[in-house]
Amino acid sequence: MSNDIHGKSFSELIKGETPVLVDFYADWCAPCRMMPPILKELKNRMGDHIHILKIDTEKNPDVAIRYQVRGIPTLILFRHGHVLWQQAGVMQAPQLEATIREKLARHEEMTK
């Protein structure tokens, strides 16, 4: 994660210009433990074009409930405060990158 996200609240981050991918997880979840290296690879691929946050559903149940997280891991892509995409389960970095780029491109077209 880049340094400019520190000190900002969750709501400030997801309303920003830079897309934010949020990984909802729990420490006891085996598939969730597969995500950190995948997200690191994604960050290496996309660099400053995306922020990546991890939210522990055990410690932040209100946020998980607000976004209807029913299974973990769940990935949610935000931009300008809008949910652009949401999916439960593990995805590999190349597919995740392609999905994110597609959703961002579609969002750009719709907001023109």
pLDDT in tens, 5-61: 566 788 899 999 999 999 999 999 999 999 999 999 999 999 999 999 999 999 999
Beta strands 74-79 and 20-25 are antiparallel
pTM (predicted TM-score):
0.91
Q: What angle do CA 80, 83, 87 make, to 5 degrees?
A: 145
Give the angle 67-103-82 at the CA atoms, nearest 5°: 35
Is the pLDDT reported for residue 73 higher than 80? Answer: yes
Q: Could you list the active site residues?
A: 29, 32
Q: Which domains does the chain have, with CATH numbers?
A: 17-107 (3.40.30.10)
Q: Is the pLDDT of residue 3 over 70?
A: no
Q: Where are the alpha helices (DSSP H) in the chain?
A: 10-14, 35-46, 61-66, 93-110
